[in-house]
Structure 1
Amino acid sequence: MSLIADVRSSRELLVNLTRREVKGKYKRTALGQLWSLANPLAQMLVFTLVFSVIIRIEPGKGDPSGLDVFALWLMCALLPWAFFTSVVTGGMASLVGNENLIKKVYFPRSALVVSSALATSYTWAIEMVVLVIAILLFGGSPLVYLPLVVLAMVTLAAFALGVAMLAAIANAYFRDMQHLITILFQVWFYLTPILYPLSEVARRAEAAGPVVGDVTILDLYKLNPMEGFSEVFRNLLYDNRLPEWGTALECVAWAVAALVAGSWVFTRHQRRLAEVL
């Protein structure tokens, strides 16, 4: 895979670009990296107030953890979603944002997208550590599943990187892409079981019956790759149990497909980036 070859040949550049991304994001701020926790915490407070207090969505207790804390249940899916969208939007803007650098000197252009993803992964890792500590404080037992959580994080990072590479090339050729992605993510967010449990979708699908033949609304809903990732993280962190193997394998399949497609499209078009930017 050309992406792997590019990463190997530009490891020093990749490290420097990642450091630049991490240090530059909160440069000259009093709290520094702590600001990375501000946005997810603010979202958690707002969504918890609206969907737990006002609308009163009840996802049920963690099985078998027994946890019954809506905020923790929410964050187990919200943090992976926020990571995914940050990687895609950051990677999409990385080529356009480094237009002058691309036009002046040759280097593997994929390093820009990968470094953006690595910088976001660094922030996500901090957020996930805080989440694990919070779950422990409320009586959960996620430590035994941490190796699988890390594996799930790597799988989601691969999926996000593949989508980011596709979006980066598309944005280089069509600048409207950044606006379309914003709208797409707004719709995609509410089509993913983040604010409500998957069981609610299943209940409504059963009440509605088949849509076409034996295909139900739930079958169509599960075509969303982020649905599987959300369930995997919730099973491991909140429920403290293994996810269904079918769901886990679907996540791996999505990650491989996205990374292969993203790498192929990016490699095919990266030589012309200096011309189209």
Structure 2
Amino acid sequence: MSVFAVKKVAPIKKIAQLWSYRELIYQLTRRDLLARYKGSYLGFAWALLTPLVMLFIYSFIFVIVFKLKWGLGTEESKTLYTLMIFSGLIPFYIFSESINRSLVLISGNPNYIKKVVFPLEILPISLVISTIINNIFGLILLLVAKLVFLQTPSLPLLLIPILFVPLIFLSLGLAFAFSALGAYIRDLTHSIALVVNMLFYMSPIFYQTSIVPEPFRSIVNINPLTSIIEQWRDVILLGRGIDYGQYGISLFTSVIVLAIGYFIFQYLRKGFSDVI
């Protein structure tokens, strides 16, 4: 039997096992972050420049060209709209990057699959952690802009770590699933890229959910990112507390996705060495 065969392990014991791998997770995360910008003159500055450039482009299109505003038609609403876009882009980038990179995670690390006994489940974990750290620069910029341009309460910013929990669980669950499926189905890269692009416009990044026509609003609300993005805006930019009813549904959904994704990963891992 393969050393990677699925073993029935109690959830608490499995969490304890993952905790024992924390140093290895740290090293893999660090290696991934350094590899992103290896040989680059600007290095980690790209982590800040990339979202800034994309924010400029989207702001030009939607604020300058289409003259869209958030809320009242005032000059302040233009600034608010720009920040609303930015607050939606950050969680979406974490989500989409985690999924897109996970598709080639197993095939891109054949040495871990074939040559050594290795806890493969830490690969998606380190990938998601690396993705979050890479996008923290954008979050810091958003917080600075909020403090400078918006006169909204800042105390709710202490809730930001809580906001990350559903996003992490959702991203990690899909990273587990797609990293395993991607090892078997190479065409998945193209199909998932299409789905992610659809989710980009189906997520309330450039618009409020309330303006979506009623017959289509349920479609937008099915998207698990909708609740996450709206919670980010309410807490970070508008200075509101967390809607714990909405948050509870989002957290429950993300936990289910994580459990299913982890099950798929553990079920399919026994055949990784045969397809890589």
- Is 1:132 the equivalent of 2:143? yes
Partner in structure 2 of residue 102 of structure 1? 113
Q: CA deviation at 1:105?
A: 0.7
Given that residues 94 and 131 in structure 2 are in contact (C-alpha distance below 8 angstroms), is that contact kept between their aligned partners in structure 1? yes
Q: CA deviation at 1:198?
A: 1.3
Moved over 6 A (4+): none
Partner in structure 1 of residue 3 of structure 2? none
Which amino acid is 1:129 matched to?
I
Partner in structure 1 of residue 189 of structure 2? 178
* Alignment TM-score, normalising by the size of structure 1: 0.88
Encode CA deviations 1:177-212: one digit per residue, 9 max, x unaligned: 1111110011111111101121211xx22xxxxxxx
Q: CA deviation at 1:238?
A: 1.6
Partner in structure 2 of residue 268 of structure 1? 267
SS in 1 for 2:67: coil
Distance 2:259 2:132 in 1: 20
Q: 2:39 aligns with which of 13, 16, 28?
A: 28
Q: CA deviation at 1:218?
A: 1.7
SS in 1 for 2:105: helix
- Is 1:50 the equivalent of 2:50? no
Using the TM superposition, name which of 229-238 and 141-150 deviates more.
141-150
Partner in structure 2 of residue 225 of structure 1? 224
CA gap of 1:93–1:5, structure 2 versus 1, over 3 A, is: farther
SS in 2 for 1:167: helix
Partner in structure 1 of residue 174 of structure 2? 163
* Alignment TM-score, normalising by the size of structure 2: 0.89
Q: Percent of aligned positions with the same letter in both sequences? A: 27
Given that residues 26 and 126 in structure 2 are in contact (C-alpha distance below 8 angstroms), is that contact kept between their aligned partners in structure 1? yes
Given that residues 83 and 124 in structure 1 are in contact (C-alpha distance below 8 angstroms), is that contact kept between their aligned partners in structure 2? yes
Distance 1:179 1:136 in 2: 40
CA gap of 1:248–1:67, structure 2 versus 1, over 3 A, is: farther
Q: CA deviation at 1:113?
A: 1.1
Given that residues 87 and 120 in structure 1 are in contact (C-alpha distance below 8 angstroms), is that contact kept between their aligned partners in structure 2? yes
The 5 A counterparts of 1:229-240 are 229-240=228-239
Encode CA deviations 1:37-82: one digit per residue, 9 max, x unaligned: 1221111111111111111222216xxx989522111111111101
